[in-house]
Amino acid sequence: MNTAYLGLGSNLGDRSAHLHFALEALRPRRVSPFYETAPVGFLEQDAFLNCVCEIETALSPWALLRELHRLENLRERQRPFPNAPRTLDLDILLYSNTVIRS
């Protein structure tokens, strides 16, 4: 098993519900408190609600990323342009001791 730390964010719709949906699916070992941040890049959008969680996974980094994208799509995540508003944004922050350049 591998330990991964994920960043979760939402700034469209019921932000808290989107984060809770992801956390229920991910079944994390630990979760940070929720916190609000200003948008970066495209500034003409609402603030983000965020948290970080720690999970254990048997998935490879790329398989985990595919699963995170699947969860985003279940919440109707759209990608019209970089830094666009989003219902759910799931990012791999750390994955064991692996360095991935993408």
Q: Which CATH number belongs to the domain containing residue 80 in this structure?
A: 3.30.70.560
17 located within any domain = yes
Quote the number of domains for the chain. 1
Which of these is catalytic: 70, 79, 86, 101?
86
- Reply yes or no on whether 86 is catalytic: yes
7 located within any domain = yes
pTM for the whole thing?
0.92
Which of these is catalytic: 14, 66, 70, 91?
91
77 located within any domain = yes
Higher pLDDT: 80 or 27? It is: 27
101 located within any domain = no
Residue-averaged pLDDT of the chain:
94
41 located within any domain = yes
Which of these is catalytic: 15, 29, 77, 79?
77
61 lies in which domain range?
A: 2-95
Task: Quickly list DSSP for 26-78.
Answer: H--SEEPPPEEE---SS-SSPPEEEEEEEEEE-S-HHHHHHHHHHHHHHTT--
Answer whether residue 101 shows pLDDT above 90. Answer: no
102 located within any domain = no
- Reply yes or no on whether 46 is catalytic: no
What share of the chain has pLDDT > 70, as a percent?
A: 100
- Reply yes or no on whether 77 is catalytic: yes
Mean pLDDT of 46-65: 97
Question: pLDDT tens digit string along 61-97?
Answer: 999 999 999 999 999 998 888 888 999 999 999 999 8
Mean pLDDT of 17-27: 98
**Cα separation, 89 vs 32, whole angstroms:** 16
